[in-house]
Amino acid sequence: MRKRKFNKVIFVPAKNNGKYPHCHSLFIDDDVKVIIDPASDKKRLQALKNEKGVDVIINSHYHEDHFRYNHLFPDAELYVPREDSPCFQSLDKLLEFYGTLGTELEEQFRIYMVDMFHFRERTPSIEFVNGDTFNFGTTTVEIVHTPGHTPGHSCLFFKEEELLFLADIDLTSFGPWYGDACSDLDKTIVSIKLIRDFPARTFVTAHGEGIIQGSIAKKADAFLRVINQRENALLDFLKEPRTMDEIVNKWIIYKKPREPVKSFEFGERGMMKKHVDRLVASGTVVYNEGRYYKK
């Protein structure tokens, strides 16, 4: 992928088509220099810092593959979603939001965040909410709150460029991710529907394709269908009573065990638990004596 420019908004592609542990970034080359989700490519980001300078970091949410290179810009102001702000200020809070604090994964995640993703506790300059607008010169950015993936997950709308940065509503074939303790499946669905017909001409995803021109309706519908496919596969599996461990070991989300197994089990369990809880609440699935089964 190559850099693309939309007026003063520059698309900074990530390594390996934006696959984890990286994501595509945006750079605003205006009166105020702004980097959005700086986790794309360390060399490119360092070059932008040296050539242009960076006044502001905007993080769309608290995930590590979006803040990975925040540390390159220690003097920049930090703008983050209000709901996710505690995760930037405290490693304990970050692990609590993930759901690993106090578990067997805590130490692994603690080391992982600090050593690989350079987590540094940092007090945000601004905690933004839905509808907030920032002017960085001739470039205007409006916050579009799209919770579910995380409580504060937000898209960014560039009004003059008619460009919407979708962050982790990335429209990839893998589908949505909602595995954290604080993720919300129902809110994820609402957020995807919100951006489906958003009035923009250009859409930028944090992973995968990167730049999409024109309507994203079909891609958003396909993204939503992945949720239904997962739920249908789960219901089929629950024709017989199953424990939560058996559900996790079915690998409905990831299709097969992957390394590191414990980390992928964490994601599989987190997302499958959201599905079974929703199905139990609707009366479609019954929970009895440690097992779930279709009613």
Model confidence pLDDT, tens digit, residues 154-207: 999 999 999 999 999 999 999 999 999 999 999 999 999 999 999 999 999 999
216 and 262 assigned to the same domain: no
The CATH number of whichever domain residue 96 belongs to comes to: 3.60.15.10
Does the pLDDT value for residue 1 go beyond 80? no
Does the pLDDT value for residue 224 go beyond 90? yes
User: How many independent structural domains does the chain possess?
Assistant: 2
Mean pLDDT of 61-72: 98
Mean pLDDT of 72-97: 98
Does the pLDDT value for residue 94 go beyond 90? yes
55 and 194 assigned to the same domain: yes
Q: Which residues of 69-82 are buried (b: 16+ CB within 10 A; e: fewer)?
A: bbebbeebebbbbb
- Which of 164, 175, 261, 285 minimizes the C-alpha distance to 216? 164
Mean pLDDT of 68-92: 98
Residue-number span of the structural domain to which 193 is assigned:
4-220
202 and 252 assigned to the same domain: no
Give the list of residues 6+ apart from residue 157 with CB closer than 8 angstroms, or none. Answer: 141, 142, 143, 144, 163, 164, 165, 198, 200
